[in-house]
Amino acid sequence: ALGSNSRTLHGPWGERKTTGYGGEAAVHSLEGNWLNIDDRVGYVVLRSDGRPNLIRHHDESRGFGRVPQLQEWISLVGEAEPLDASTPVWICVVTFLSQSAADTAASLEKVRFDVQGDVATCRIGDDVIRVDFSKFEGGRP
């Protein structure tokens, strides 16, 4: 639950409970294309290269003394082996708020990702998000 150092991570691997402990840093590597945290927030990760995705839950300890500060974060996109920098990889991450693990798993059926040249298209059911990166201009208007 939010406000505590315990999480239940759901994904294709099943259910994994994590608890942060002061002084014990850990990284939990989980292969999969979806993640749900505590039956509250869901993520779907689709890759253009077809490689397996590696999700990492980082549980780091910081500070000293009787009450060390805990710091957690999730790396939603990752690889088990380094990528060749010359090969472009496109990745789409879709976030679903207030969603159960079962609904996140079912979301895989309605999320699609396609790349043609410089145009990336993400479809979520009937909704379409299309970005043409050849027309992207940095900075502010």
Low-confidence ranges of the chain (pLDDT < 50): 1-2
Burial 104-138 (b: 16+ CB within 10 A, else e): bbebeeebebebeeeebebbbeeeeeeeeeeeeee
User: What does the pLDDT read at residue 55?
Assistant: 95
How many structural domains comprise the chain?
1
**Torsions phi, psi of 84, nearest 5?**
-75, 120
Question: Rounded CA gap, 34 and 112, in Å?
Answer: 13
- Domain assignment of residue 141, yes or no: no
- Domain assignment of residue 12, yes or no: yes
Domain containing 35: what range? 6-135
Question: Rounded CA gap, 60 and 72, in Å?
Answer: 6
- Domain assignment of residue 32, yes or no: yes
User: What does the pLDDT read at residue 70?
Assistant: 61
- Domain assignment of residue 140, yes or no: no
- Domain assignment of residue 1, yes or no: no
- Domain assignment of residue 56, yes or no: yes
Instruction: Tell me the residue type at 127.
Output: D
In this structure, are residues 9 and 29 in contact, taking their beta carbons and an 8 Å threshold? no
Kindly report the pTM of this predicted structure: 0.83
User: What does the pLDDT read at residue 2?
Assistant: 47
For 8, counting Cβ atoms within 10 Å of its Cβ (0-12 exposed, 13-18 middle, 19+ buried), the class is: middle
User: What does the pLDDT read at residue 103?
Assistant: 98
Question: Rounded CA gap, 9 and 36, in Å?
Answer: 6
